[in-house]
Amino acid sequence: MRPLGNSGIRVGALALGTMTWGRTTDEYDARDQLAAFLDAGGNLIDTADVYVDGVSEELLGTLIQEFECRDQIVLATKAVSLPNTERRFDASRKHLLAALERSLKRLDVETIDLWQMHAWDPNTPIDETLSAIDQAVSSGKVRYVGISNYSGWQTTRACTLQQVKGPLAPIVTTQMEYSLLERGIEREIIPSAKALAIGILPWSPLGRGVLTGKYRHSIPIDSRGANPDTSSFVNAYNDERARRIVDAVATAAEGLGASPAEVALAWLRDRPGVVAPILGARTAAQLVLALGSLELQLPSEIHAALDDISEPAMGYPEAGWAQRR
């Protein structure tokens, strides 16, 4: 168990994501996923108000009641995102507080443990967003606050303003894409998070599924890579660098008697600042396989080799002569 950033609660080393629930994961598989996750000792469950237009929250709320597990989980959701609209992101007080009420109703709970701002909204003053967050916390409807997809300067700006104003609930986490294939947050986000005592919740920890190795030789017909609506999301990692990294992960997995997914998750799980990678499995079988990484400890030689082959480009101003780390 690990502290959830600079907060007093602790969560497991892996989190359960529900973005596929209600879309490619039906009620029966979602039920099996939740059972497997709880049986493995997991407690942090992540969703968002826009996942399948709220269906993910509704399904999660139904299963929480069915399992009678509200007191044993840390429930996280998000607001701000408005897909397929001209504005795209809305962090105004009006939208946030209305979105919170809708999330509470769909989840069928009185309080959300971790309420996350899904993205930075350039059209709303950050002071207004932070004020709405404080109102949500003071009302008792939110316990802790997080951010997601903020850049380094945006993260620092929001947290600094909170410190100056003396917030009711400081930002305790940032949810960012992070994996062996996407290490860009090591340039600015991880140093910022360390300085601000913010925990990191990596999304897409398996590199949009590419690190499972299933795309090494072909594209499975039932995968996101074969779906015209989602193939571009996966193909972002269809290049020579990604292939070298995936081959290295597969080689390490073969030597360890593990799956490539377990190796990739074990590497990420122990990175500085990481609290809990978020597992977004489509099926219960995929989730169980990923949960196996909890038992895997990478030898230092393999950890170092994976570090080297996936090392991101670093330069001015985040590294080099101007920095003393």
Q: Which residues are catalytic?
A: 51
Give me the sheet containing 74-79, strands edge to edge: 199-203, 171-177, 142-148, 112-117, 74-79, 44-46, 15-17, 278-279
Q: What is the DSSP letter of 72?
A: G
CA gap 62, 65 in Å, rounded:
5
Q: What is the CA radius of gyration of the chain?
A: 19
Closest CA to 139 of 100, 165, 185, 187: 100
Question: Tokens representing 111?
Answer: 């309080």
Contact between 115 and 145 under an 8 Å Cβ cutoff? The reply is yes
How many Cβ atoms are within 10 Å of 292's Cβ, its own excluded?
Answer: 15
**Prior bond of 272 cis (ω within 30°):** no
Question: Tokens representing 130?
Answer: 């932070």
Closest CA to 106 of 134, 64, 143: 64
Torsion angles phi and psi, residue 283, rounded to 5 = -125, 160
